[in-house]
Amino acid sequence: MIVNPVMCMKCNKTIATVKFTKMVEGKPHEIHLCQNCAASVSPYQPKMSTLENTWSEVLSQLLASSGSAKPLSQESKADESKSPQEKIDAVCDFCGFPFENYRKSPFLGCSVCYTAFEKYLINDIRRIHGSIQHTGRIPMRFRKLVEIKRSLDYLKRELQEAIKCENFEQAAILRDKIRHLNDGKSSGD
Amino acid sequence: MKRNLYSESDIWLKDEGGCENVVISSRIRLARNLSKIPFSTHAKPEELANVERLVDERIQSILAFNDYESISLHDVSQFTRRYLKESHIISPEMEKGGEHRKVYLSPGGRISIMVNEEDHLRFQILAAGYNLREILDELIKLDTKLVELLPIAFSEQLGFLTACPTNLGTGLRVSVMLHLPGLVFNRQIEDTIKMLQPLGVTIRGFYGEDSEFTGDVFQISNEASLGKNEEAIVDSIESIANKVIEQEEEARMELFDKRPLIVEDTVWRSFGILSQARLMDTQETMKLLSRIRLGIERKYFSKMNHYILNRLFFSIQPAHVEYKRQTGPNNQKRDAARAELLRCLFTQSGSDN
């Protein structure tokens, strides 16, 4: 019945010949793989538990790359912030919204809640979007700050790299650039 | 209200768009919130009033320029709200009404700006047919103005901050409404839905969230809004929609090829009911109109086209019929009025066949 051949969902280069179906939250999810990728997932005939683990990994990788939401591997479910076991007493300083309320409804209290509950929310956000970094449009008034921050992140990574390679001359140049940007940032505020 | 909202609300549907065989309409919306005010789902009445006032004050220049109509959803009747929901101008959430909830509407209903939905601002552009790139450009222009005029909540990492984390990042939701009778008829629709599931799209019915797939109408939209930029989200929905359109076209081809008589019989049988029945409910009407729409491609009806059918999908909805024929909220009277409207239309359009 499927009209067109399906490409392998892992390498996306070869036509998928192996189909797996896994029930996630009561719904069937199909994973189509080519022979090679199927073999890399399961190089030998594994025991059930191993198969189950590999499965979760493949599934969460694929879903993460396609940005899909719901299904989760067992591992990420355990550290997900919405898990009912651990009670979190955090309250947003700005609007007084208790984090516990977020477990009962899909909404947060205000925009400051994202800062207040960052560590509890971040896994949830990654699970929903497959990413935790905005790459879309930036309002004009934030543009300069965002540019500086992104340059700083980049320069800091370069600096680490330079230090690791003992390229101290380069490191000094990078350190100056970082200092310069930091000065600009504080005067811009 | 200054203008006649009821007769104007579906003018946007008259425009021509591409891929009219399969695509009914396109829609893109953005979610934005004001900083330093709790989200509308959590705000106190005075805070909601504050949002309403601030938006009203600041966006006057845009509204006046574009001749927008401002409608307070608290002040209009439940009937009006239902009518606007049926026209896809407000969301099912806004249909509930509530203090300080407002919608600004462009002439013809194409652009709407909702205030105090779950986010402080939700604005959308609707377009007939397949028109995603054009409406994205237009929406971004509107967004640029709004974002300049208002203190919008934004974070470098998470993008535009929204009441529900599912809308973070771009705050963008791109939807394409597709008519897929071929895939339903051929029983391939489940395979198509399975194909779509791992691709990060949501599939909904005619009315969006939780609605059924009446009239073989399916809306596909992006699930994630953070991580990709606006153009990339539109590209991915477009490429997924293209795939579905291709599958639908193949399914129709196969139907017309292998079971021509069965298709022809089904279409004309539907025509028979639509042109003769005395009581028609919404569900049955949608189902039969779907088959007529399939027949249009084969030129069974010389006086019918896709645009007439697209508008019918909207105009046979309960509040639309109730308004047109002043039936009041009586179910049987409404079903009789709907049947009469359909009889009128279909006896005229079928007479030369």
Asked if residue A66 has pLDDT above 60, the reply is: no
Per-residue confidence (pLDDT) for residue B54, from 0 to 100? 94
Return the percentage of chain A with pLDDT > 70, whole number: 58
Residue of chain A nearest B251, judged by CA positions: A3
pTM exceeds 0.80, yes or no: no
> How confident is the model at residue A52, as a pLDDT?
37
What does the pLDDT average to over B58-80?
Answer: 87
For chain B, the average pLDDT equals 91
Closest CA to B248 of B314, B311, B294: B294
CB proximity under 8 Å: B 311-350 to A: none
H helices within chain A, ranges in order? 35-41, 48-66, 74-78, 100-104, 113-116, 118-129, 140-164, 168-188
Using CA atoms, how far apart are residues B285 and B215, in angstroms rounded to an integer? 8
Q: Which residue of A has its CA nearest to B44?
A: A95
Cα–Cα distance, B207 to B212 (Å, whole number): 8
> Which residues of A fall within a CB distance of 8 Å from B41?
105, 107
CB B289, CB B309: distance < 8 Å: yes
Q: How many angstroms separate the CA of residue A102 from the nearest CA in chain B?
A: 9
Residues 177-216 in B contacting A (C-alpha not used; CB under 8 Å) = 187-188, 191, 194-195, 197-200
Q: What is the pLDDT of residue B6?
A: 76
Q: Is it the case that residue A54 has pLDDT exceeding 50? A: no
The reply to whether B163 touches chain A by the CB within 8 Å rule is yes
CB contact under 8 Å between B163 and A108, yes or no, is yes
Angle between helix axes B306-315 and B318-325 (nearest 10 degrees) is 90
Q: Nearest CA to CA, how far is B267 from chain A (Å)?
A: 24
Tell me the average pLDDT across B312-337: 91
What per-residue confidence (pLDDT) applies to B109? 87
Q: In angstroms, what CA-CA distances link B209 with B101, B189, B312?
A: 20, 19, 21
- Report pLDDT for B302: 84
Among the partner-chain residues A27, A124, A135, the one whose CB lies closest to the CB of B165 is A124
Contact criterion met (CB < 8 Å) for B223 and A67: yes
Q: Is the CB of residue A109 less than 8 Å from the CB of residue B39?
A: yes
Residue B172 Cα to chain centre, angstroms: 15
pLDDT of amino acid A185: 63
CB B290 within 8 A of CB B274: no
Does the beta-carbon distance from B197 to A68 stay under 8 Å?
Answer: yes
pLDDT digit string, tens, across residues B204-245 = 887 665 556 788 999 999 999 999 999 999 999 999 999 999
DSSP string, B98-162: -TT-EEEE-GGGSEEEEESSSSSEEEEEEEESB-HHHHHHHHHHHHHHHHHHS-B-EETTTEE--
Confidence of residue A78 (pLDDT cuts 50, 70, 90): very low
The DSSP code for A100 is H
Q: How confident is the model over A145-171, as a mean pLDDT?
A: 87
C-alpha separations of A181 from A163, A169, B18, B152, B156 in Å: 20, 19, 49, 25, 17
* Contact between chains at B195 and A2 (C-beta distance less than 8 A): yes
Residue B172 sits at the chain A interface (C-beta within 8 Å): yes
Between A79-88, B37-46, B100-109, B220-229, the lowest mean confidence (pLDDT) is in: A79-88
User: In chain A, pLDDT over 90 holds for what percent of residues?
Assistant: 25
pLDDT level of residue B67 (50, 70, 90 thresholds): confident
pLDDT number for residue B324 = 87
Name the pairing type of β-strands B121-128 and B69-72.
Answer: unpaired
Residue whose tokens read 């049987």: B332
Higher pLDDT, B81 or A68: B81
Q: Is B263's pLDDT higher than 80?
A: yes
B166 and chain A in contact, CB less than 8 A: yes
Looking at residue A127, what is its pLDDT? 93
- Predicted confidence band at B327 (pLDDT cuts at 50, 70, 90)? confident
DSSP letter assigned to residue B189: H
8 Å CB contact of A130 and B200: yes
Q: What is the pLDDT of residue A20?
A: 63
B68 Cα to chain A: minimum distance (Å): 24
pLDDT of B75 strictly over 90: yes
The answer, for B91 touching chain A at a CB cutoff of 8 Å, is: no
Residue B333 has pLDDT above 50, yes or no: yes
Nearest Cβ partner for B227 among A62, A124, A133: A133
Residues within 8 A of A (CB atoms), B 213-272 only: 222-230, 246-247, 250-251
Cβ-defined contact of A97 to B42 (cutoff 8 Å)? yes
Q: Is the pLDDT of residue B284 over 90?
A: yes
Interface test with B, best of A119, A129, A147 (most B CBs within 10 A): A129
Closest Cβ–Cβ partner in A97, A130, A137 for B227: A130
Question: How many A/B residue pairs have CB atoms within 8 Å?
Answer: 157
Q: pLDDT digit string (tens) for B154-198?
A: 999 999 999 999 999 999 999 999 999 999 999 899 899 888 988
What percent of chain B clears pLDDT 90, i.e. is strictly above it? 71
pLDDT average, residue stretch A151-175: 88
Query: Measured between beta carbons, which residues in chain A are less than 8 angstroms from residue B143?
Result: 137
B159 vs A105, A136, A145: nearest CB: A136
Between chains, do A125 and B168 touch, taking CB under 8 Å as contact?
Answer: yes
Query: Regarding predicted confidence, which is higher, A54 or B311?
Result: B311
pLDDT at residue A44 in the model: 34
